[in-house]
Chains A and B, each alone.
Chain A
Amino acid sequence: MKIHQIFGMIGLAFGLIAASPSFADEGSDPQRIVSVGGAVTEIVYALGHGDAIVGVDSTSTYPPEARAKPDVGYMRQLSAEGVIALQPDLLLIEQGSGPAEALSLLKASGVPVITVPSGHEAGALRSKIATVAEALGEEEAGAELGQTVMDELASLKADLEAIEDRKRVLFILSLADGRPTAGGSGTGADAMIEMAGGLNVFADVEGYKRLSSESVATLRPEVIVMMDRGTAAEHGSTDPFAIPALAASPAGEAEALIRMDALFLLGFGPRTPAAARELAAKLYPERIEAGSSESASQ
């Protein structure tokens, strides 16, 4: 290989990355969508374009049909050739997907790539939906869905306003090896507890961290929230009250344990208002009404 050819290739590589054609012409009707991110996939299905999906990432587990689609792997470890092989005419990726090298190759190969913002706030939910809707040419349906989500969250917030005595909630991500990992501030769990009108007792800690047994005494959680991962027991133990410190907490004495489906609770997609209402109804059974049967169906 001659030296000028080598330089030509480097130049090409740069040129391709720089060019990054973004010809995702709005209003088009994509027929082969690769959807990356659990919430993104839920929104595509909610907008009625699930049949056009030809590939999802490993976090896309709802609706159940999505699991039958080819799996392009974990959202931050996408394989450029793997995605190209699916011949997508639209690649929807949740913010934070990668690696960057794979994304620039995908863009260079002419696949329209749309990045969907991530986030846990109500506003972020709406812009997620709006971004996906625009890419699908479903602006109206998207605006409607976004408004419904905002309205439902607002009505839940109004219902919660009357409640002064907020429940002290501890979210436990896992009990692997008998050592609980709890959700601190900045996590999806924290945002969900907030939406459902609870007080996250672990909010002084940032992120998901191991919970020390002694600190449970000072945190005094009244309710434990955990993810329901189906029938499979995770690493042997799923009972938080088997841990003495948690059994002795107010939550343990009252046996107050709420389990909810993982992606429903922490997916931050179109089902989030329903999840927040369901959690709120479990926290304050006398005060908050559970949602419609549709949203409660799990």
Chain B
Amino acid sequence: MLRGAANGDRAAAERMTLAVLAGLLLLVAVVAIGVGPSGLSPDRVVALLAAGPGTDRFPVSESIIVWQIRLPRVLMGAIIGAALAVAGATLQGLFRNPLADPGLVGVSPGAALAAVAVIVLGNGILAPLVQPLGIFALPIAAFVGALLSTFLLYTIATRGGRTSVATLLLAGIALGAFSGAITGFFLFLSDDDQLRDITFWTLGGLGGTTWLKLFACGPIMLAAVLASPVLARGLNALTLGESEAFHLGLEVQRMKTLAIVLVAGAVGASVAAAGIIGFVGIIVPHLLRLAVGADHRFLLPGSALLGAALLVLADALARTVAAPAELPIGIITAAIGAPFFLWLLLRRRGLLGV
């Protein structure tokens, strides 16, 4: 009886948390559309939104700020934040490792290698490939690089139809080091401008967001986020251990494949859209685990909402604090996230079981 009541309490707390997080996301999104360096008043923003895109009732520059700059950025920020946080939660569950992040399954190193290759060699030997793609060369390369390197890693770790998580982890480290070496060689070849491009790219940013990018990358991430709850029961069972999960009747192999496909798609698309944005995937799931609980049925949707809110907030700050310039968003996600995370960690020491 007592146990049932505790479960009921927890379920209620989880529902409550999800509702609060959804409210938080909505609030942050509204504020983010309302603020920016150009100082349009909130009622002006509302009027511009109501008037629709391409209105002639307002100056074209104001319409562009709201419809072509802020709105796509807020939507993109929300989708990327959700995708990164869900990817992080999924990987931490899959690897049963609190430090798991997309780098481990080859996504970020592969994307970085491809992106740096395009930046450095785009005017040289890769020109025939890069020039026709124009500004889409970098995102496409990052996406393809992420998927290829994840596929390679998955193939290495899979023998006789079974994927070994341990092999995946270790091969991921080796492959990451190898990609890092090649990336380093491209860095050696790069000139000053390219070097700065690379540095900024690895800190991420939503500055280049357009509707086109949103419609190209958004659906992949959205699909991954919406499909992730399918994994929740499996990830819960996996916390007991792989063979235990298998004996519970879980199709462990299918789950691993699905999880890796989801993560590669979601993170690959996010890297293509906004470069490498660190920390969201690590911190958001842990925050929720510490605050509410580790049940993946709650953790996955909760991570999506909190990740979205955190990134939209971080982007709003990135656009405003250094105005008229813009800070790389990776600085802000880590600067907000890390101290808060430490505080929670110190308060609830010992609860960080994954």
Contacts and interface: CB of A to CB of B under 8 A. Distances in A.
Interface of A: 5-6, 8-10, 12-14, 16, 55, 58, 70-74, 76-77, 79-86, 96, 99-102, 105, 108-111, 186-187, 207-209
Most buried by B among A5, A12, A187: A12
B326 A77 contact: yes
Interface in B168-224: 188-193, 196-197, 200, 205, 207-213, 215
B161 interface: no
Interface residues of B, number: 42
Nearest to B37: A85
Given A85-B36, A110-B61, A101 B197 contact: no
Interface stretch (B102-110, B152-160, B289-297, B317-325): B317-325
Nearest to B200: A77
A76 B65 contact: no
A109 B326 contact: no
Given A71-B325, A82-B326, A13 B61 contact: no
B60 A110 contact: yes
B258 to A, nearest CB: 29
User: Which 5 A-B pairs give the minimum distances between C-beta atoms?
Assistant: A73-B325, A82-B324, A85-B38, A79-B326, A109-B61
B147 interface: no
Nearest to A187: B191
A82 B64 contact: no
Given A8-B53, A82-B323, A109-B64, A208 B208 contact: no
B253 interface: no
A108 B64 CA distance: 8
A5 B51 CA distance: 13
B1 to A, nearest CB: 49
Given A9-B67, A85-B37, A100-B135, A79 B211 contact: no
A35 to B, nearest CB: 13
A81 B196 contact: no
A102 B61 contact: no
B70 to A, nearest CB: 7
Nearest to A210: B188
A113 to B, nearest CB: 13
A72 B325 contact: yes
Nearest to B189: A207
9 contacts: A8-B53, A55-B324, A71-B324, A71-B325, A74-B196, A74-B325, A76-B197, A85-B39, A101-B210
Given A81-B69, A207-B190, 11 more contacts: A6-B215, A55-B324, A58-B325, A73-B326, A82-B319, A85-B323, A85-B324, A99-B207, A101-B207, A105-B64, A208-B191
A99 B325 contact: no
B193 A96 contact: yes
B69 A207 contact: no
A207 B209 contact: no
Contact of A81 (B65, B212, B215): B65
B54 A12 contact: yes
Contacts of A85: 36-39, 323-324
B322 A73 contact: yes
Given A16-B64, A85-B39, A99 B324 contact: no
A73 B324 contact: yes
A99 B207 CA distance: 8
A79 B54 CA distance: 21
Contacts of B69: 80-81, 105
A55 B188 CA distance: 33
A139 B96 CA distance: 69
A81 B192 contact: no
A101 B192 contact: no
B36 A81 contact: yes
Nearest to A10: B211
A101 B209 contact: yes
Contact of A76 (B193, B209, B210): B193
Nearest to A100: B135
Contacts of A9: 53, 67, 211
A10 B52 CA distance: 13
